[in-house]
Amino acid sequence: MDTNILEVKNLSVKLGQEKIINNLSFNVKKGEFLTILGPNASGKTVLLKTLLDIFDYSGKIVWSKKAEVGYLPQGLTPLKVKNFPLLVEEFFNLKKNKFGDPMEFLKLVGITDKNILKDSIGSLSGGQFQRMLLAWVLSSKPNVLLFDEPTTGIDTNGEKTVYSLLHDLWKKEKMTIIMITHDLNIVSKYSTNVLCMSRDNVYHGKPKEILLPEILEEIYDAPVKYYQHYH
C-alpha cells in the first residue's frame, strides 16, 4: 500500500502569461482516494489535465509504470450530445483500448439492462449518462481514475448514487482515485487524503487534518459552514 503511484514535484503550469499552478509537490500512494478541493479558478482542473499530459508544465510528474489511467472530464452531459445519432454500443466502439464486452463494465456501474446498448446516448438521463461514461472509462481497465466533478448536471439523488458507486469501485477493485469535488461532506466521508488548493496556498493531508475551519477559511477566503463526520 505504501508504493507511490504518482509523484508530483515542483510543478508549475502557465496558461498564456498567467501562472495557474506554482511549485506544487505531492505524492499519491497506490489505493489512495484523494480529493482535490478549492475555490473556482484555483487551478484544480488545470492540475488534473496537466497530470494527464494535456497541458505543458515545468517540474516533475512521475506516474508509476503500473499506472493505467482513466479520466472522466467535466461538463460532458446528455444535453451536449442530445441530437447526436450515436447508440451506447457505438460509443463504446469509439474506444481504442478496450477489454471485453460493454455489458461487463455497465454491470460494474449498476446497469444490468442490455437494452441500454441500443439507446441513443443523448436520450439517457443525467445519472444514467454519467454511469455509462464511467463504464466507458472502466472498459480500458484502468487502475487509477481521475474525476473532475463527476456529478455536474445530476440531481441530488443521482449525486449520492454516483459517489457511493465510486466508493464501492474503489473498495472492490482496489483502485486509486483522484477526484475534484466541491462537496465537503463527500470529502470527509470517502477520501483518504485531501489536496486543498487556492492560488496562494496548498494543504495536503488526511481529511481530519485539512478540513479545519481556519484552513478552509483561508483557502476559500470566506467562512465555510461545514459539519465534520468521519467514518
Site of interaction with other proteins (CB under 8 A): 49, 52, 54, 69-71, 73, 76, 80-81, 84-87, 90-91, 93-97, 120
Among candidate residues 75, 55, 67, the one with its CA nearest the CA of residue 11: 55
Residue with Cβ nearer other proteins (138 or 196):
138
Our CB check for other proteins shows the closer of 94 and 222 to be 94
Q: Please tell me the distance from the alpha carbon of residue 229 to that of residue 231, in angstroms, as a whole number.
A: 7
Beta carbon nearer to other proteins, 67 or 76 = 76
Nearer to other proteins, 30 or 49 (CB): 49
- Minimum CB separation from other proteins for residue 205, in Å? 29
The CB-of-90 to other proteins minimum distance in angstroms stands at 5
Task: Please name which of 201, 230, 168, 222 lies closest in space to residue 211, comparing C-alpha atoms.
Answer: 230
- Residues 198, 201: Cα–Cα separation, whole Å: 5
Minimum CB–partner distance for residue 179 and other proteins (Å): 15
Distances 210 to 102, 104, 201, 204, 228 between C-alpha atoms, Å: 39, 38, 12, 7, 11
How far is Cα 2 from Cα 217, in angstroms, rounded to an integer?
Answer: 32
DSSP string for 204-215: EE-HHHH--HHH
Cβ proximity to other proteins, 80 vs 171, nearer residue? 80
Dihedral (CA of 123, 99, 33, 51) sign: negative
Q: Which is nearer to other proteins, 95 or 141 (CB)?
A: 95
**Cross-strand bridge partners of residue 197:** 202
